[in-house]
Amino acid sequence: MLAVENLEVVYNDVVLVLRGISLEVPDGKIVALLGANGAGKTTTLRAITGLLDVHEGDITKGDVSFEGVDITDEDPSVRVRRGISQVMEGRRVFAEMTVEDNLRAGAYANRDRSKVSEARDRVMSLFPQLEKRSNATAGYLSGGEQQMLAIGRALMQDPKLLILDEPSLGLAPLLVQEVRDIIVEINKQGTSVLLIEQNAKMALSIAHHGYIMETGKIVMDGDPAKLLKDDDVKEFYLGVQPTGEQKSFRDVKHYKRRKRWLS
């Protein structure tokens, strides 16, 4: 469904952020893109959704295609109408608007009113608590409820591909589990998912394929179960030494990536 091929991105005509990355999201699958802060995950999303211009970024090499069509130079609004919806990091709900109005804003590009009604029913079945709080002001919702609203708003467009940027960020473990289960259910209903996360355990537990980014490159990809068993992945992302001994956060922070990750 989505193909990113040999993509390079430069900011302000100076800073090379993406260094020839390639990845794919097959139709009907969940794909996880993992990486630490500064690895290039958000820049990859901006290249896919067309938001690079806002941040003074330019694609200098490579291309992005969706359902076989080159969308590298298309406006963001055109990509949305093609079926790409994104949930940004930090939720970005319209804090002064009600839950209902946030959802209606998400359906702005959906011109089929019957489909909007169906999309709303789908959102409310996935997030029953939003139905109860439909008239509440979004800014007063809990962090977990705001994340659900952000996902629900993206689903109002009835997307073919849902892109989630750090959906577990700042959530308690029980809420992370709930969001995880909801992503699985959304995928079961036929929506492809590109999941960008630092929470490797959560992301790889539901993904059909995983990619790991470091310094603007894809340094590893493959079957999620195999990635979770990889010593490098366990040590850097899970804080576990090959012996099974748990490391402190300080140790993990100063972990030196093996040379093969930088090759």
Pair of tokens at residue 126 = 């996935």
What CATH topology corresponds to 1-83+161-175+184-223?
Rossmann fold (3.40.50)
Query: pLDDT above 70 covers what percent of the chain?
Result: 90
Angle at 90 (CA atoms; ends 12, 86), nearest 5 degrees: 75
Q: Give the tens place of pLDDT for each residue, 152-181.
A: 999 999 999 999 998 888 888 888 999 999
Residue with tokens 């992945």: 233
Tell me if 31 sits within 8 A of 208, measured CB to CB.
yes
Query: pLDDT above 90 covers what percent of the chain?
Result: 61
For residues 198, 204, 207, 213, the Cα torsion angle rounded to the nearest 10 degrees is 50
- Terminal Cα-to-Cα distance of the chain (whole angstroms): 29
CA neighbours within 13 Å on the CB side: how many for 4?
27
CA neighbours within 13 Å on the CB side: how many for 26?
5
The ranges of the chain annotated as CATH 3.40.50.300 are 1-83+161-175+184-223
Q: Give the tens place of pLDDT for each residue, 47-90.
A: 999 999 888 999 999 999 999 999 999 999 999 999 999 998 87
Q: Rounded to 5 degrees, what are φ and ψ at 230?
A: -70, 135
What is the β-pairing status of strands 57-66 and 2-11? antiparallel
Q: Give 11-52 as a 3 state SS string.
A: ECCCEEEEEEEEEEECCCCEEEEECCCCCCHHHHHHHHHCCC
DSSP 112-136: -HHHHHHHHHHHHHH-HHHHHTTTS
